[in-house]
Amino acid sequence: MRRLLTVLAAGVPLAAAVCLPTASAETRDGSAAAPFACSAPSVKAPAGTEVESVTAVRQEGGTIIGTGALGGSVSGVPAYCEVTVTLTHPGDNDHARVRTWLPVSGWNGRFQGLGGAAYLAGDNGVGLGTAVKNGYAAVSTDAGVGDALDTSWALDSEGQVNTALLENFASRSQHEAAVVGKEVVDAIYGKRPAYSYFTGCSTGGRQGYMEAQRYPDDYDGILADAPAVNWDEFEVATLWPQVVMNNEKTYPSKCEFDAFTNAAVKACDSLDGVKDGLVNDPSRCDFDPRRLIGTKVVCEGRELTITAADAAVVRKIWDGPRTPSGKKLWYGVPVGADISALAGADPFQVPAAWVKLWVAKNPSLDLSTITYSQFTQLFKQSQAEYDKVIGTDDPDLSAFRKSGGKLLTWHGLADQYIPTQGTVHYREKVERELGGTKRVDDFYRLFLAPGTNHCGLNGADGSTDGLAALTAWVEHGKAPKTLPATLINADGQSVTRDLCTYPQVSRYKRYGDPAVASSFKCVSPSRH
């Protein structure tokens, strides 16, 4: 089952998706002996923690309804044992719940850790249920923090950043969940997992990269999609569309923004050799928004005329944040992505909370008054204070490579919340650090998905089975040359594509049905 779970909070879609990989793959070494006792095991506390409690409850499965803002559901879940271990870090007064779900029968010998979404550190039940349905024993942690848009934990009673909970959310709780989860599997089944995988998108994608960077022995394979790496930079950068509109005192409507996006997609569609409703390489799209000045757009029955001021706003949003002197700070909204997601009537809650609470430490900060120079100060302050805490952009993956781990990522080229170029930038840093494309491809592969929005290949505007590709790579040494996917083009039609291994791009062969993957080939950008 592949689904993108998005919540409408205050009328704004949440940049948070639960990644629900579908690979069930064959059982590794026969099912674990059944029936087994679903009883609270003895759990050794991970380093730096104390175990507060351990409980075990047999659940009959069926339909699992996702908790919190993300919601969602998964049906057909078999009976499972739910073991909950609550950890605390002495002196920090935190309480992190680690939940491990273990199939009563039909365990495939594998273990799956699940990441979170926005400010939710772990899974809301749907991912755990999906993993169990596919034969995995699975673990997730709440890191002692709240739901996806709950930031009540950010500041303590004195208005200072709660550094313990931020550290939980940023790194340590995810590692502790891996340690505890495997221990629980061993205690319940009488043997450790044959293979361990991590899956996540958005915040979950960032957590996957964090695992590869800081805890390279936790997982054999990591599927980390649309990863929120460079957190300290992009969380401030995604406030840029609001800053631009407020400083230019120009507020285009959603349908005006859509007119710019549609025109750009139309203009750059054929760069890959065929008009197919998809822009394969938005970074090469040089559509000038000023071409739409004077164009009439019908919005909710009213005819509006695109102005030079509208075009200037769009140009700045696509270009991305810059200092007042013109120095580029970060990447903008990709051409082809929904501009209104970040340029709506209200700021998107995730970056708004980051800037108010963690950077400015002022919950009542009026974001609408931020000038370009103040924005630059906030951006640099976020970098200085939080890069080492939650930036998750350390390019030295040599320990992960040495451990035999495999890292697989896809990222939508029309991601409206996390600029795709940030992930590309990180991958290029890894190549410089570790000796070039070929050496990095041995253990880390990136696939870019045309026309795909945030976490979109989980079912909202396309699908792919990244976990199946990852298990084949880890367990059988079959490195994925391409990632087969179903995409949705600009006309709303489903098309098949083989996503190319970065830096290759897809190009039409000049014959064949443009809706079919076999009509395209992967080529290096220099030949494109």
Residues that are catalytic: 202, 415, 454
Q: Using DSSP bridges, classify how beta strands 482-488 and 137-141 pair: parallel, antiparallel or unpaired.
A: unpaired
**CA 314 – CA 42 distance, rounded (Å):** 58
Taking phi first (over 0 means left), then psi (-120 to 50 degrees means alpha), and beta for anything else, what does residue 336 get? left
Q: Distance (Å, rounded) from C-alpha 28 to C-alpha 391?
A: 36
In one-letter notation, the amino acid at residue 255 is C
Do residues 367 and 355 touch, judged by C-beta distance below 8 A? yes
Q: How many whole angstroms from its chain centre is CA 224?
A: 7
Question: For residue 447, what are the CA distances in angstroms to 54, 283, 411, 416, 497?
Answer: 40, 15, 7, 17, 12
Gap between the Cα atoms of 222 and 28, Å rounded = 18
CB 169 within 8 A of CB 443: no
How far is residue 352's CA from residue 106's CA, in Å, rounded to a whole number? 45
The rounded distance, in Å, linking the Cα atoms of 409 and 39 is 37
Contact partners, residue 92, CB within 8 Å, separation at least 6: 164, 165
Tokens of 233: 């930079």
> Is the distance from CB of 105 to CB of 78 less than 8 angstroms?
yes
DSSP 8-class letter at 226:
S
Collapse the DSSP code of 256 into the 3-class scheme (helix H, G, I; strand E, B; otherwise coil) and give the result.
helix
Count of CB atoms situated within 10 Å of the CB of 396: 12
* DSSP SS3 for 36: coil
Which helix (H) or strand (E) segment holds residue 199: the answer is strand 195-201
Phi, psi of 168 (to 5 degrees): -55, -50
Whether the bond into 35 is cis, omega within 30 of 0: yes
